[in-house]
Chain A
Amino acid sequence: MTDANPNPTPPSRRGDDSPTPLPVDEAASLAGRIVENVEEVIVGHHDVTEHIVTAILARGHLLLDDVPGVGKTMLARSLARSIDCEFKRVQFTPDLMPTDVTGVNVFDERSREFEFRPGPVFGNVVLADEINRAPPKTQSALLEAMEESQVTVDGETYRLDQPFTVIATQNDVGGDRTYELPIAEIDRFMKQLTLGYPSPEDESEVLRRVTGRHPIEGLDPVATGEEVRRARETVAGVTAEAAVREYVTRLANYTRERADLGVSPRGSIALLRAGQARAVLDGRDYVVPDDVQAEAEAVLRHRVRTGAETGGASGAALIAEALENVPVS
């Protein structure tokens, strides 16, 4: 349904020829540049912007939970533009089919062969809008792509181009005709973020910027895909000492002891990875508890189910409580 990628990555059998990591300071300045660049367009969401950049560096995907019209799409687009990579957008609807996401084999009359038409998932920054409006089967097609960084169509596996980051949005106001994401799938998003309404000053600034030429039009890339891939290697190499690992474990345990469903080990891993990215953002090659704390709410809150079943709010409260009470060592 959207513009197909003319050069999809062929079925990948690439080895582990991972790119050389950037030095930490370069990675830090890269991340800083991206954040600044995005903020040319997005006003008043510095924290969210940082979270998104760290999620990309930590190979994570994002879930934006929000009311419509607060700039989710714009955020994703400016991000894709800043990194100079491909941006794709899928509007999830109740009738959206899995192949609408992943791509489909089309019979070529001339060559009399089936030819794979890549879906919108073959992009570097993929905005999956209103993911909760699509039926579970379609959702899970996207989620598999997120988890595996590859898609399988008719038995054929296609590796996705890196960096690959999904920014999915959910609208709170959907009411009926939505399919709530199952907890197992929501767990695959590294972070859940909320933009929220801008403050009056920020909003008037937004209005000032969009009059005339939209700032996104003039946005220049500040990083290449290759640089992002290398920065990801940097993040992966960040030291996380036992003290930090144990702190993460204690946080997870704290939620497990107090919620119906606590943070999964996948959540702990995500938190540590996010912490690594946060450390790089700060120009360090080691994680400190502060990094973990900075990421904890965004990474953990959607993974816990409290008894009240009041959703993210009480999850966030529990995480805040954990940060307050779990001793830092």
Chain B
Amino acid sequence: MSADAAVGRELELGDVAVPYHWLAVGSTGVLMATYLSVLYHVTDIVGGTAALTALVVATLVAATLAARHLPVSYAAALVVGLLGAGLGGYYLSVPSPYLVATSTGQILADNVALLTGLSVLRMTEVGAWALGVAPALSFGPWYLVLRRRYALAVAAGGVALTFFVLTGDAGSFVTLVGSLAAASALGFGTLARRGGTAAQVDAIAIALVAMVVVSSAISVVPGGTASPILPGGSAGPQTVEGSVVNNDERTNIVGSIELSPTVRFSVEAERRGYWRVGAYDRYDGDGWIRTGEATDYRAQSAPPGPSRTLDQTVTVEADRLGAMPAAWRPVRLRTGADNARVTSEGSFDPIGALREGEQYTVLSEVPDPSESELRTAGTDYPEEIAERYRQLPASSADRIRERTDEIAAGAETPYATAVAIENWLEANKAYSLDVDRPDGNVAESFIFDMERGYCTYYATAMVAMLRSQDVPARFAVGYTPGQRVAENEWVVRGLDSHAWVEVYFPEIGWVKFDPTPGGPRADTESQRVQQARERNVSNVDTDDSQNGTWTPTTTQPEDETGTETTDDGTGSENLTAVAESGPGQRPQLAPDREVGRTDSAPEIGVATTEAEDGAGDVPIRPPSPEEAALGGLVVVGLLAAARRTGALARLRRTAWLYWQPRRDPDTDVERAFARLEHLLADRFRERRPGETPREYLDAIRGIDRRAERVGEIYERVRYAGESDRLLADQAVALVDELVRERRGLGR
């Protein structure tokens, strides 16, 4: 083990010596890859992947060259310049309406807001932003590490990663990998500067693994409890990006909304409608994000096409309600305007939350186009609509497009396309609340792999498919009409929450499509309400709703768009995350098992604890790439530990002893003799350094004749220069025999 103590600047891995410097460079590369992967993910969603890749590669090459020739002070100025230029370019690319409202102070405030867990994806021009910051982020650490300024390089890369950790874009896994890379870059950097021993390398490996194990047990990164690295710890099925909005803030409110059969609010209106809360424009494969900021309340214009006015008075029945549900499109608040603002997609939103008993009256202009109007609407989309609502993650766009092309083969208008997609989803996917959240792109998984899902899946898939056909569409959330308790009154419960699709038609505006099959949804819902009533859960009913559903005397159900699927009055569905209002929130496409489950009814109105979820039957599944990578890291650590304790050496020794790959006769004979020596060392004693093979074999009394023969062959091959395949065969065969017998050495 003396090699362990030898101080050097290289890591010996078998025959290959890797300088610590290059290990540090490699680790820094991994660190950079973690936060650049966030940028890559961003560009994958909004476009510009090729440009980003080219930019990063070019910057890395430039940094490599600069590391040879450019002094540090100039390089620092260059990085600052790059960052400044990049951010300047970004602000120039922001559409002017946004820019008008921004002052320097607001820009700062925006950036600070980002650091509190708001995803960078919320930025309207996040693609430009990513391209803007990428050069500075790639240049700095790479330049520094190549100049052997390891600590500075790690600091620079660490700041970049920390930024994305704080915005929540870097999930636990990326954060962990980045931290490990930073730690190993520092470790190897120190070894490269001062020289190190193999023992120290092992220590680094063990420390890294300790980091993995500890952080898997106690997640300390933001959102860590929500997206633990290994399942079964605490959280439900969420994604890495889930941490973006998965703050306590959101969970508190959504928890009571999403799962509850209790009444949320009641609506007095002439007609029923889908009580819409908001919509989302940006899809990142895992969920939905609303870009842009909410603005101060002002009356909104009516949709350009034909519409019908609907006055709604909404009374909050829950403790609090973080949204202002209203039929699309809300135009004016008759009451409650003081407390409202307008989200970037045009819905009203309370500042703070509404309390029980609060009321607001909202006037909506519900689009009411005829089918022929929709058919003839054409595709002359306004530019900002086309740009904002046709984005798809590039990584899955092609596949979805091909499938949708088949499904909507005969459709010639966007309307026909939408209907075809809607029909296909309704016909081909079964409704179920009990689904496992797929890895990766949800829309892609739902379209291609999954057999069942619920509204969020249907809606997400449909938006993705529409966008693949270049039809602007968005993901809308809200509540279904609820239970009609009087001619003009509907009672809406938490489990009426729903997700659907809005499609944009020129000259008409946003039109609702609901791809979720209505029947099964209604069954689930009524069952749940009934159950809650039996258990005497409070606030399941209002005074009116207990008396049963009011049945309209007209036999013709009202249809708002003519495209809506059949929907009985109570048709509703749980929406996972209707969420409170406000920018940055996004519903998770997480399956909601509690609702579908009838066997373990938790206290209604309180979210089932996650532990219960985890305690259920965990399906056997192949490990995710993250788990595989972590497993790999743990294995590396165990190997390092094993090496420290000598177990690895013993294991390797044993494997080496039993298995001899064949090469040329000389090598074969030498190795055979080495194996024999090992065998003899185990049984008798080791050969001393100055002892010749002949002396050694002579010194061991009672040695097996075969061992002597191996010694003779060794001598002839090694010292007489004989190189003979037959001799080698014989030697290897004899040693094989001896190894197998193990005890056959002595007579």
Binding site for B on A (CB under 8 A): 239, 241, 243-244, 284-290, 293, 322-328
Binds A, one of B193-201, B353-361, B716-724: B716-724
Q: Are B721 and A239 in contact (CB under 8 A)?
A: yes
Cβ-defined partner of A324 (8 Å) among B689, B718, B721: B689
Task: Give the chain B neighbours of A239 by CB distance below 8 A.
Answer: 719-721
Bound CA–CA A290/B721 (angstroms):
16
Q: Are A324 and B719 in contact (CB under 8 A)?
A: no
Cβ distance A244 to chain B, nearest Cβ, rounded Å: 6
Enumerate B691-708 residues with CB–CB distance to A below 8 Å: 691-695
Q: Are A241 and B719 in contact (CB under 8 A)?
A: yes
Given contacts A285-B720, A288-B692, A289-B719, 14 further A-B contacts (CB under 8 A): A239-B721, A286-B719, A286-B721, A288-B694, A288-B719, A289-B692, A289-B693, A293-B690, A322-B690, A324-B689, A326-B690, A328-B690, A328-B692, A328-B693
Q: Are B690 and A323 in contact (CB under 8 A)?
A: yes
Is B715 on the interface with A (CB-CB < 8 A)?
A: yes
Of all chain B residues, the one with the shortest Cβ separation from A286 is B720
Q: Are A288 and B691 in contact (CB under 8 A)?
A: no
Q: Are B690 and A241 in contact (CB under 8 A)?
A: no
Bound CA–CA A192/B211 (angstroms):
66
Bound CA–CA A241/B717 (angstroms):
10
The number of inter-chain residue pairs (CB within 8 angstroms) is 47
Cβ distance A276 to chain B, nearest Cβ, rounded Å: 12
Bound CA–CA A154/B689 (angstroms):
54
Q: Are B692 and A290 in contact (CB under 8 A)?
A: yes
Bound CA–CA A239/B721 (angstroms):
8
Bound CA–CA A324/B719 (angstroms):
20
Task: Give the chain A neighbours of B691 by CB distance below 8 A.
Answer: 328
Bound CA–CA A243/B692 (angstroms):
12
Cβ distance A5 to chain B, nearest Cβ, rounded Å: 41
Is B621 on the interface with A (CB-CB < 8 A)?
A: no
Of all chain B residues, the one with the shortest Cβ separation from A238 is B720
Q: Are B690 and A324 in contact (CB under 8 A)?
A: yes
Enumerate B665-717 residues with CB–CB distance to A below 8 Å: 688-695, 715-716
Bound CA–CA A71/B523 (angstroms):
122
Task: Give the chain B neighbours of A293 by CB distance below 8 A.
Answer: 690, 692, 695
Of all chain A residues, the one with the shortest Cβ separation from B722 is A286
Task: Give the chain B neighbours of A287 by CB distance below 8 A.
Answer: 719
Q: Are B719 and A244 in contact (CB under 8 A)?
A: yes
Bound CA–CA A285/B719 (angstroms):
10
Of all chain B residues, the one with the shortest Cβ separation from A328 is B692
Of all chain B residues, the one with the shortest Cβ separation from A327 is B689
Q: List 30 A-B contacts (CB under 8 A).
A: A239-B719, A239-B720, A239-B721, A241-B718, A241-B719, A241-B720, A243-B718, A243-B719, A284-B720, A286-B716, A286-B720, A287-B719, A288-B694, A288-B715, A288-B719, A289-B692, A289-B693, A289-B694, A289-B719, A290-B692, A293-B690, A323-B690, A324-B688, A324-B690, A325-B689, A325-B690, A326-B689, A326-B690, A327-B690, A328-B692
Bound CA–CA A239/B722 (angstroms):
11
Task: Give the chain B neighbours of A322 by CB distance below 8 A.
Answer: 690
Bound CA–CA A239/B720 (angstroms):
6
Q: Are B720 and A290 in contact (CB under 8 A)?
A: no
Cβ distance B465 to chain A, nearest Cβ, rounded Å: 71
Of all chain B residues, the one with the shortest Cβ separation from A322 is B690
Cβ distance B113 to chain A, nearest Cβ, rounded Å: 69
Task: Give the chain A neighbours of B721 by CB distance below 8 A.
Answer: 239, 241, 286
Bound CA–CA A80/B470 (angstroms):
111
Of all chain A residues, the one with the shortest Cβ separation from B692 is A289
Cβ distance B26 to chain A, nearest Cβ, rounded Å: 35
Bound CA–CA A285/B692 (angstroms):
18
Task: Give the chain B neighbours of A284 by CB distance below 8 A.
Answer: 720
Task: Give the chain A neighbours of B690 by CB distance below 8 A.
Answer: 293, 322-328
Task: Give the chain B neighbours of A244 by CB distance below 8 A.
Answer: 719
Task: Give the chain B neighbours of A326 by CB distance below 8 A.
Answer: 689-690
Task: Give the chain B neighbours of A286 by CB distance below 8 A.
Answer: 716, 719-721
Task: Give the chain A neighbours of B719 by CB distance below 8 A.
Answer: 239, 241, 243-244, 286-289
Of all chain B residues, the one with the shortest Cβ separation from A292 is B692
Task: Give the chain B neighbours of A289 by CB distance below 8 A.
Answer: 692-694, 719
Given contacts A241-B719, A241-B721, contact A290 B695 (CB under 8 A): yes
Task: Give the chain A neighbours of B693 by CB distance below 8 A.
Answer: 289, 328
Cβ distance B153 to chain A, nearest Cβ, rounded Å: 42
Bound CA–CA A55/B176 (angstroms):
72
Of all chain A residues, the one with the shortest Cβ separation from B717 is A241
Cβ distance A72 to chain B, nearest Cβ, rounded Å: 31
Write out, one digit per residue, whether chain B residues 528-568 have a CB within 8 A of any chain A CB (1) or not (0).
00000000000000000000000000000000000000000
Bound CA–CA A70/B721 (angstroms):
43
Task: Give the chain B neighbours of A288 by CB distance below 8 A.
Answer: 692, 694, 715, 719
Cβ distance B349 to chain A, nearest Cβ, rounded Å: 81
Cβ distance B324 to chain A, nearest Cβ, rounded Å: 86
Bound CA–CA A197/B661 (angstroms):
56
Top 9 A-B pairs ranked by shortest CB distance? A286-B720, A289-B692, A327-B689, A324-B690, A290-B692, A288-B719, A328-B692, A323-B690, A241-B721
Task: Give the chain A neighbours of B716 by CB distance below 8 A.
Answer: 286
Interface-centre pick from A243, A287, A290 (highest chain B CB count, 10 A): A290
Task: Give the chain B neighbours of A243 by CB distance below 8 A.
Answer: 718-719
Of all chain B residues, the one with the shortest Cβ separation from A243 is B718
Task: Give the chain A neighbours of B689 by CB distance below 8 A.
Answer: 324-328
Cβ distance B497 to chain A, nearest Cβ, rounded Å: 79
Bound CA–CA A160/B715 (angstroms):
39
Of all chain A residues, the one with the shortest Cβ separation from B688 is A324
Bound CA–CA A322/B690 (angstroms):
8
Enumerate B705-747 residues with CB–CB distance to A below 8 Å: 715-716, 718-721
Of all chain A residues, the one with the shortest Cβ separation from B687 is A328
Task: Give the chain B neighbours of A241 by CB distance below 8 A.
Answer: 718-721
Bound CA–CA A288/B692 (angstroms):
8
Q: Are A290 and B694 in contact (CB under 8 A)?
A: yes
Cβ distance A23 to chain B, nearest Cβ, rounded Å: 16
Cβ distance A122 to chain B, nearest Cβ, rounded Å: 39
Bound CA–CA A284/B695 (angstroms):
16
Bound CA–CA A323/B689 (angstroms):
9
Cβ distance A146 to chain B, nearest Cβ, rounded Å: 30
Interface-centre pick from B689, B692, B716 (highest chain A CB count, 10 A): B692
Cβ distance A248 to chain B, nearest Cβ, rounded Å: 12
Of all chain A residues, the one with the shortest Cβ separation from B720 is A286
Bound CA–CA A92/B718 (angstroms):
47
Cβ distance B224 to chain A, nearest Cβ, rounded Å: 54
Bound CA–CA A286/B712 (angstroms):
13
Bound CA–CA A329/B690 (angstroms):
9
Task: Give the chain B neighbours of A290 by CB distance below 8 A.
Answer: 692, 694-695
Task: Give the chain A neighbours of B720 by CB distance below 8 A.
Answer: 239, 241, 284-286
Task: Give the chain B neighbours of A327 by CB distance below 8 A.
Answer: 689-690
Bound CA–CA A286/B715 (angstroms):
9
Cβ distance B308 to chain A, nearest Cβ, rounded Å: 97
Bound CA–CA A323/B694 (angstroms):
14
Task: Give the chain B neighbours of A323 by CB distance below 8 A.
Answer: 690
Bound CA–CA A243/B691 (angstroms):
14
Task: Give the chain A neighbours of B694 by CB distance below 8 A.
Answer: 288-290
Write out, one digit per residue, whether chain B residues 50-70 have a CB within 8 A of any chain A CB (1) or not (0).
000000000000000000000
Cβ distance A238 to chain B, nearest Cβ, rounded Å: 10
Cβ distance A153 to chain B, nearest Cβ, rounded Å: 45
Cβ distance B97 to chain A, nearest Cβ, rounded Å: 81
Task: Give the chain A neighbours of B692 by CB distance below 8 A.
Answer: 288-290, 293, 328
Write out, one digit per residue, whether chain B residues 472-515 have a CB within 8 A of any chain A CB (1) or not (0).
00000000000000000000000000000000000000000000
Cβ distance A247 to chain B, nearest Cβ, rounded Å: 9
Bound CA–CA A287/B690 (angstroms):
16
Cβ distance B653 to chain A, nearest Cβ, rounded Å: 19
Cβ distance B529 to chain A, nearest Cβ, rounded Å: 86
